[in-house]
Amino acid sequence: MRVVIASGKGGAGKTCVTASLADVWRGPLVAVDTDAEAPNLHLFLPPRITETTTAWLDVPNMDPEKCIHCEKCRNICTYKAIASFAGRITLFPDMCHGCGGCFAVCPSGALVHGKRELGVLESGDVLNGSARYLAGRTRIGESMTPPLLRQELRRLSAMLEERSADALIDSPPGVSCPAVTVAREADVILLVADPTPFGFHDFRLAHQAFLPMELPVAAVINRAGAEGNAEGDEAVRAYCREHDVPVLAELPFEREAAEQYASGRLLAELSPAWRERFEHLRDALVEFGAKRAREAHHA
């Protein structure tokens, strides 16, 4: 089962939830950080990195002697990575999305394959070798995350084919292209809700963004029970009831929990009560995924 832990906004607590779920997970596991622009799962699950590879994007380079200035490459490029100035073709590799259309339409072979560095993929293990680890990190200055994420998800598929396991995937925050790219690979989406007004607003945006994928979605309310915020907690519960999104856990707002998190330590290790909360969340998540799989099988 591939579980994508997502949120409508940064700071809702998805990385914290992912790390503690990994700590209490039963059976083979891959802990995955796909928040490639600002990965921080490693702060909670310090990895032993055994392999680091550079991720590249296939982009065009120009052989000017072969160019016949037909401008077919410029016309097909939706992303304006190819321009024509005074009859000369100019390439802007940093704007290229790697679709390959320009190579397909060039009649003279003037475009040759080059590459642009996207970032790195790191793999290894965590939790004293009891779980495998995979993370992506974009290079500084790289504007596009999805091509790197697609390579990371292919690497994850290869890891799971090599050795069957569940995957807990820390998603990019929000509902833009990176989050949607990762969510498409989910068997189950676990949305972490921040029950503040802004958090609830973004939680609803995330749920609505993932709805067209027709994937099972469940929720966990983080920092529940904060003084003076009973209305915010109930707003999340009411929305989830209305939209048939099961709330699998409510993690309480506690000063000790905030201090634990700020120190880069796992909430599941804070106390027996906190460990039990994540064990219950784990069991509820596994049962939810199994139930939805059975429903899909019989549909």
Same domain as 112, residue 28: no
Let me know if residue 53 belongs to a domain: no
- Structure-token pair, residue 257: 């929990």
In a domain, 234, yes or no: yes
Residue 144 sits in the same domain as residue 217:
yes
Residues 142 and 21 in one domain: yes
User: Total structural domains in the chain?
Assistant: 2
The whole-number pLDDT of residue 298 equals 67
Cα separation, 239 vs 225, in Å, equals: 17
pLDDT the model gives residue 166? 97
> Exposed, middle or buried, 167 (CB in 10 Å: 0-12/13-18/19+)?
buried
pLDDT of residue 297: 66
Residue 8 CA to residue 206 CA, distance in Å, equals: 5
The Cβ of residue 277 has, within 10 Å, a number of other Cβ atoms equal to 21
Tens of pLDDT along 75-115? 999 999 999 988 889 999 999 999 999 999 999 999 999 99
Asked if residue 52 belongs to a domain, the reply is no
Question: What length does the chain have?
Answer: 299
Q: What are phi and psi of 29, to 5 degrees?
A: -150, 145
Q: Which of 166, 137, 113, 116 is nearest to 49 (CA)?
A: 137
Of 97, 117, 137, at which residue does a domain stop? 117
pLDDT at residue 296, as a whole number: 75
Let me know if residue 249 belongs to a domain.
yes
Q: Are residues 152 and 289 in the same domain?
A: yes
CA–CA distances in Å: residue 240 to residues 53, 129, 170, 186, 235: 41, 37, 22, 20, 9
Query: DSSP of 216-281, one letter per residue?
Result: -EEEEEEEET-TT-HHHHHHHHHHHHHTT--EEEEEEP-HHHHHHHHTT--GGGT-HHHHHHHHHH
Q: Domain limits at 77?
A: 58-117
Q: How many helices (H) and strands (E) in the chain? A: 10, 11
For residues 12 and 78, membership in a common domain is answered with no
Asked if residue 152 and residue 30 are part of one domain, the reply reads yes
Task: Indicate whether 146 and 237 sit together in one domain.
Answer: yes
**Residue 157 domain-assigned (yes or no):** yes
* CATH of residue 169: 3.40.50.300
> Is there a single domain that holds both residue 39 and residue 62?
no
pLDDT digit string (tens) for 170-179?
Answer: 999 999 999 9
Residues in the chain, pLDDT under 70: 297-299
Listed residue (163, 181, 79) closest to 123, CA to CA: 163
Indicate which CATH number applies to the domain containing 83. Answer: 3.30.70.20
What the block records as the tokens of 50 is 């055994």
User: Do residues 234 and 195 lie in contact, with contact meaning Cβ atoms separated by under 8 Å?
Assistant: no
Residues 138, 274 within the same domain:
yes
Q: How high is the pLDDT of residue 291? A: 87
Q: Are residues 289 and 167 in the same domain?
A: yes
Residue 98 included in any domain: yes
